[in-house]
């Protein structure tokens, strides 16, 4: 399976990127191909401008060169993965802007839907599992990504995985999170 892995974090030396590398290792060991799209390093502009605003009256619409390029890239893959820090109980602005601009009308919803077999969302949460569950933040985020985004765009096989307590500096905790990321990649298509 060809998996497009979209990562969003401003620092390359972050835990988010370490998790991405281990996830990719797991995918590779399971026999999958993966392309990484680093939204910050490619200079992706998350701001939805007039050219990329959906025209609800158009039967076909052309978007900006940047968006069309990302749409072509998505078409080349069978499945999707997104790796990001959970900020303010949701997606970072860069990743939210990617969804807003690239998963657009006539491509991801409307007259067409995405063809991908599955989507995976790996959110790195500074909060503990207990803290994320306290006000059902975990359920709200999961419902938004699996139903409000993926299923709305034709991907019924969507899953959210949280890596918790990412600021915990106790010995072995970061390695535990990296092992979880590897296992998620290794088992990506087994469910």
User: So what's the pLDDT on residue 47?
Assistant: 96
User: So what's the pLDDT on residue 160?
Assistant: 98
Give the C-alpha separation, 121 to 7, whole Å: 10
Q: Quickly tell me which residue has 């905790």 as its tokens.
A: 173
- Tell the burial category of 111 from Cβ atoms under 10 Å away from its Cβ (0-12, 13-18, 19+): exposed
User: So what's the pLDDT on residue 189?
Assistant: 84
User: So what's the pLDDT on residue 59?
Assistant: 73
Question: Which residues on adjacent β-strands are paired with residue 82?
Answer: 6, 121
pLDDT < 70 regions, the chain? 191
User: So what's the pLDDT on residue 191?
Assistant: 63
Nearest Cα residue to 161 out of 118, 124, 111, 110: 124
Domains and CATH numbers, the chain: 2-186 (3.40.50.360)
Give the C-alpha separation, 29 to 145, whole Å: 27
User: So what's the pLDDT on residue 57?
Assistant: 81
Supply φ then ψ for residue 66, to 5 degrees.
-65, -45
């Amino acid at each position: 399976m060809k998996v497009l892995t979209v990562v969003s974090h401003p620092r390359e030396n972050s835990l988010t990127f370490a998790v991405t590398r281990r996830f990719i290792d797991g995918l590779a060991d399971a026999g999958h191909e993966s392309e990484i799209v680093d939204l910050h390093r490619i200079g992706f502009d998350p701001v939805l401008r007039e050219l990329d605003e959906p025209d609800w009256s158009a039967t076909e619409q052309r978007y900006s060169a940047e968006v069309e390029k990302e749409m072509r890239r998505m078409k080349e893959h069978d499945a999707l993965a997104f790796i990001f820090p959970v900020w303010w109980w949701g997606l970072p602005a860069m990743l939210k802007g990617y969804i807003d601009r690239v998963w657009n009308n006539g491509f991801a919803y409307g007259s067409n839907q995405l063809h991908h077999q599955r989507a995976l969302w790996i959110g790195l949460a500074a909060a503990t599992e207990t803290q994320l569950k306290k006000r059902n933040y975990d359920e709200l985020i999961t419902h938004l990504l699996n139903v409000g985004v993926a299923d709305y765009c034709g991907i019924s096989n969507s899953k959210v995985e949280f890596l918790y307590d990412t600021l915990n500096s106790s010995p072995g905790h970061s390695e535990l999170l990296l092992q979880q990321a590897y296992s998620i990649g290794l088992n990506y298509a087994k469910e």
